[in-house]
Amino acid sequence: MDQNFDTIINVYTVSLGCPKNRVDTERLLGALGSGVVPAESPSRADLVIINTCGFIQPAIEESLDTVFEAVQEVEDSAGDHRPVLAVAGCLVSRFGDSLRDEIPEVDLWLTTDQIDQWPDMARKALGRDTDPSAPRALSTGPGHAYLKISEGCSHNCRFCTIPSIRGPHKSWTVDHLLDEAKQLLSTGVPELVVVGQDSTAYGSDLGEADAVKRLMSGLCSLSGLDWLRVMYLYPAGLTDDLLAFLRDLGRPFLPYFDIPLQHAHPDVLKSMGRPFARDPRRVIDRVRKYFPEAALRTTFIVGYPGETDESFQVLADFVREVRFHHLGVFPYWPEDGTPAAAMPNQVEDAVKQARRDEIMAFQTEISREIMASHVGRTMEVLVERESPEWPGLYIGRTWFQAPEVDGVTYVSAPPESPLTPGTIVSAEIEGSEIYDLSALVSE
């Protein structure tokens, strides 16, 4: 059979969950060939791909709702043309057999341990060929792209389902990642956002000392890269040695540290099985020693089994003292199959929610104050896209605003001097809200 990668394929995609899922979706779309055309709805597609999240119960429910909605739309409007319906990702890996029984309308189930085979499986279902050498089909717009450096996780946090879903930590080689980064930068994006379940563990499975340093050095030397942001930095990996290296590396590395601490009380951290020193203050102090200007992002779990009023108060006091730029607080979910789900002293749902609300109430004021401190400054803003609100208004980000998870900066420019998405401009910060900034392009 003659290979033809340019055959038009109308594809409707939904990628749920984390940016790592988005990268998996982009790789699949790229390998389907240059003939892929986005479809407006499942009923107008040749192929429907839903890449799911199965990390915690709310994500499971969102994934299932999305799948059922797609099934309904496909079934209601199939007529003589029925698209291939593919469901992929973490939900499939976690609940595969039961899903197949419950949703027989799905044509193709793609598990996370089959990622390399997804394009071939999709093409086979469509009766077409695959181009495995094709670049990713970026879906993030002209401002940034994600670079996934590893798969899976080898930590044993007692609340987490990721190792059972995604398997142990596995790094891609430095050379492979640098080649992929060059391809991404060739599209014109100015920012690369490095993601992995634990980015500080990169290379630990490659048998190469300082692989993470070689990767960071290689990325920072690439032409066209203005900003390099690294997400998911586990506390144990933020050593003095690595932090000193990153400080000396300089731009385009951004002093933005996304550190999933999860709690601040030593007994709770020990019960969680977190892989780092029991006092998170040491991690924060270490980062600020090398990067006094660092923007800090973290996540916390409240209502973990055994969390008392006292241990919660330690967490609350810690948040007040540290003053994180960005903070996510999540009520604990007892996920089936995790050790924490079987622990005694489970916390009532109402208590979990009240604790979350308490922290977010004062974190809101902290964020408002941090944002207000930038008013009057002239800063670099990466322009992502035009705003639909009025001509001359654009949506962008400063260096301390990561895409999709943090606030944004609204940038105004004269209509006769339009800005180009994907460029970095100098702008004066003129206003602030809880999470967002507003700015005016400097003369």
Domain segments of the chain: what residues? 9-126, 144-372, 378-441
330 by DSSP, 3-state: which?
A: strand
CB distance 85 to 71 below 8 Å: yes
Residue 126: its pLDDT value, please? 87
* Structure tokens that stand for 414 in this block: 């004269």
pLDDT band for position 80 (cuts 50, 70, 90): low
Inform me whether the pLDDT recorded for 356 exceeds 80: yes
**Domain at 9-126, CATH class:** alpha beta
| Secondary structure (DSSP) of 48-88 | EEEEE--SSHHHHHHHHHHHHHHHHHHHHS-TT---EEEEE
pLDDT band for position 32 (cuts 50, 70, 90): confident
- Residue 234 CA to residue 170 CA, distance in Å, equals 16
Residue 319: its pLDDT value, please? 97
Residue 249: its pLDDT value, please? 94
- Predicted TM-score (pTM) of this structure: 0.93
Q: What is the CA radius of gyration of the chain?
A: 23
**pLDDT tens per residue across span 128-177:** 766 666 788 899 999 999 999 999 998 888 998 888 889 899 999 999 99
197 by DSSP, 3-state: which?
A: coil
Amino acid at 226: D
**Percent share of the chain, pLDDT over 90:** 73
**pLDDT tens per residue across span 197-208:** 999 999 999 988
Residue 390: its pLDDT value, please? 87
Higher-confidence position of 295 and 135: 295
Is the preceding peptide bond at 252 cis, omega within 30 degrees of 0?
yes
Q: Domain spanning 378-441: which superfamily?
A: Nucleic acid-binding proteins (2.40.50.140)
**Percent share of the chain, pLDDT over 70:** 96
User: Which ranges of 291-436 does DSSP label H, i.e. alpha helix?
Assistant: 309-322, 349-372
- Residue 169 phi/psi, 5-degree rounding, is -60, 135
**pLDDT tens per residue across span 211-242:** 999 999 999 999 999 999 999 999 989 999 99
What is the CATH topology of the domain spanning 144-372? pyruvate-formate lyase- activating enzyme (3.80.30)
pLDDT band for position 2 (cuts 50, 70, 90): very low
Torsion, CA 224, CA 227, CA 228, CA 229, rounded to 10: -150
Amino acid at 275: P
Specify the pairing of strand 144-148 against strand 108-110.
unpaired
